[in-house]
Amino acid sequence: MEQPKKKTFTENMRLWFKGILDPIANLLIRIGLTPTAITLTGVAGNVISAVMIANGQLLWGGILALVMGPMDALDGTMARLRGEASNWGAFVDAVSDRYSELIIMAGLLYYYTELGNTLGVMLVYAAAAGSVLVSYTKARADSLKFDANTGILTRMERYMILAPGLILGYYYPVILLAAVGIIALLANITAFQRIWRVRKQGHELLRQMKLTKN
């Protein structure tokens, strides 16, 4: 019997806050907004946040990033309530999330480059690479019919570390550096967790195929 897929922290958060998200999504629908409009608003907001961060305005950049975070959940909720949830919508949502995250990382990369902070630059690169790999390993696993829903640092956790890190980093720069470092470490560990999970499933599939042939 196939075991039910374990939900990620991000998916659980959407369930926990359903009572808050649904009324807001309904309001946005009533005033004529579409899920795509909310998705694009989130991306645009993160572009502005990244520009602020690049220019050293960590406090306001962090606050804006914090505000833009719920957009990730709102567009999907709106699509569900409108009865328009589709593979295409899910694809656009996922791609826009990756762009938003990388745009913020680009702002941070510029910020640390201007400061001449080599450690900060390397940590941002490692955090961005790990974040992309977390998403890519899951997407690739899904395309091959494997389950990679595991890991200690999915998108929501990264957001909950980075946004407060930016705000507090305005006052205490070491906090932002630590936040980026935590993401760099744990995001890459998460990617390896997913690789290992798929490896075990792949080996089990091969074992079953050999048994079937025999």
The structural domains of the chain, with segments of one domain joined by +, span 9-213
What are the tens digits of pLDDT across the range 150-184? 889 988 889 999 999 999 999 999 999 999 999 99
Q: What is the pLDDT of residue 15?
A: 64
CATH fold group of domain 9-213 = Four Helix Bundle (Hemerythrin (Met), subunit A) (1.20.120)
Q: How many alpha carbons lie under 13 Å from residue 24 in its C-beta half-sphere?
A: 14
Residue-wise DSSP of the chain: -PPPPPPPHHHHHHHHTHHHHHHHHHHHHHTT--HHHHHHHHHHHHHHHHHHHHTT-HHHHHHHHHHHTTHHHHHHHHHHHTT---HHHHHHHHHHHHHHHHHHHHHHHHHHHHHT-HHHHHHHHHHHHHHHHHHHHHHHHHHTT------S--HHHHHHHHHHHHHHHTT-HHHHHHHHHHHHHHHHHHHHHHHHHHHHHHHHHHHHHHHHH-
- pLDDT above 70: residue 126: yes
Higher pLDDT, 21 or 144: 144
> Mean pLDDT for the chain?
87
Confidence (pLDDT) at 39: 86
- In this structure, the number of other CB atoms found within 10 A of the CB of residue 140 comes to 14
Q: What is the pLDDT of residue 173?
A: 95
pTM: 0.86
Percent of the chain with pLDDT over 90: 55
Per-residue pLDDT for 30 more than 60?
yes
Mean pLDDT value across residues 20-31: 84
Average pLDDT over residues 92-116: 93
- In this structure, of 48-52, 59-63, 73-77, 174-178, the range with the lowest mean pLDDT score is 73-77
- State the pLDDT confidence band at 19, using cuts at 50, 70 and 90: confident
